[in-house]
Structure formats: structure tokens, C-alpha cells
Homo-oligomer: A and B are copies of this chain.
Amino acid sequence: MGVMTGVATTRRSRITPEREAELYTAVLDLLREVGYDALTMDAVAARTRSSKATLYRQWGGKAELVVKAVRCIKPGNTADIDTGSLRGDLLALVGREDDAVMEQNSALLRGLAMAIHTNPDLLQALQELLVEPEMKEFHRVIRRAVDRGEVRADNPALEYMVHMMLGAFATRALLEQRPPTRAFLTSYVDAVVLPALGVPTDR
């Protein structure tokens, strides 16, 4: 990646940031519609009214273009989540994106599922740009719950936060073919996540 990125950065200065954002949006849309393997540079060129030659000159190839597009996704803002209870914080976290954005992310996950296996750069970009920032927020919220005495610091479910959360998300997206709505995630947090963490719920 190192050399390619350097080259691409230099070359990218030829197009405006607005045009670049437009291209990345089109690439993300195509990923959701047809998936990584079926996405062609021809389709990107047609959708964005660019020439294929320009795309290749600018990004080098499909993998680079897709990684750059994924890097553009900004997770929702979570900086001021601090409700005073773990349940409140978790529900605020899972509820901060509206259902339409969740449907989009869900489609993106389906579109990239196979490709991340055969493209290590893509997996790394997804982890660094989407999963890690997301899990960092969950861990921040949980650290406060541990400090408050709500959760024991040695609770074994703590190391499975990503499996519980991303697991529910992936099962909905892949198997049930439904986006993980706020209602679903709220119910899941109450039924699974809080009991696993040893936090009493109303049930």
C-alpha cells in the first residue's frame, strides 16, 4: 500500500475534493448494490461520468479506489454520550445512527463480506475506519460502567463485546436480510448484552 498511496495522493490533487467525494459516494453505492466482486471500473466510470483512464490514473485500480471510498465513511458522533448508566449509554450508542444509515451499512457489509477475505488491505481499512472506532466507543462506555461499579472488571463477556454487537448486526444483515433497527438493537441489548455483563434489567 505504501508506495501506491503516495502516488495516488500526488495524483489526486488534480481533482477537487467535491468531485472526489462524489466519486467515493458512487463507489459505496455500487458496493451496496452489486458487491465488491461484481463492481467494475466500467460501472464506476458510467455512474460518475468519468473515463476509465482517469480512474486508473487517479487511483491505480479497483482495490485502491474502494479502500479510499471506505475511508470516507464517518461514524456518527459519540463524544457526548454519558447518561450515567450503562444501559442508557449503550442504547444511546446503538441508537445514534438512524435506521436508514444502518440499512446502508448493512448493505455495505454484505457487499464486502467475501472481498475482505481476499483483499487484506480492504479488511484493514474496514477494521481501522469502522470497527475499531466503533468498538472504542463501546469500551469507553464500559470502562465508565466498571468505574461506577456496574460491571466487574474481570467479567468474561467484556472481551466479546464485538462478537455480541457486530454479531447481532451481521446476523440481521446476512441471514435475516433486515437492517438492525433501533428497536431490534434496544431489545437485543436488554435481552443479551446487559445480562451477559451481569447488569440487572427489568425482566
Q: Using a CB–CB distance below 8 Å, which chain A residues touch chain B?
A: 34-38, 107, 109-118, 123, 127, 131, 155-157, 159-160, 162-164, 166-168, 170-172, 174-175, 177, 187-188, 190-192, 195-196, 198, 203
Inter-chain CA distance A166–B174, complex, in Å, is 10
B37 & A114 in contact (Cβ 8 Å cutoff): yes
Please name 4 further chain A to chain B contacts, defined as beta carbons within 8 Å, in addition to the given A110-B117, A116-B174, A166-B175, sorted by A numbering: A116-B177, A155-B191, A157-B192, A167-B170
Q: Complex Cα distance A117/B31, Å?
A: 13
What's the nearest-Cβ distance from chain B to residue A167, in Å? Answer: 2
Chain B nearest CB, measured from A177 CB (Å):
6
Chain B residues, Cβ within 8 Å of A112: 114
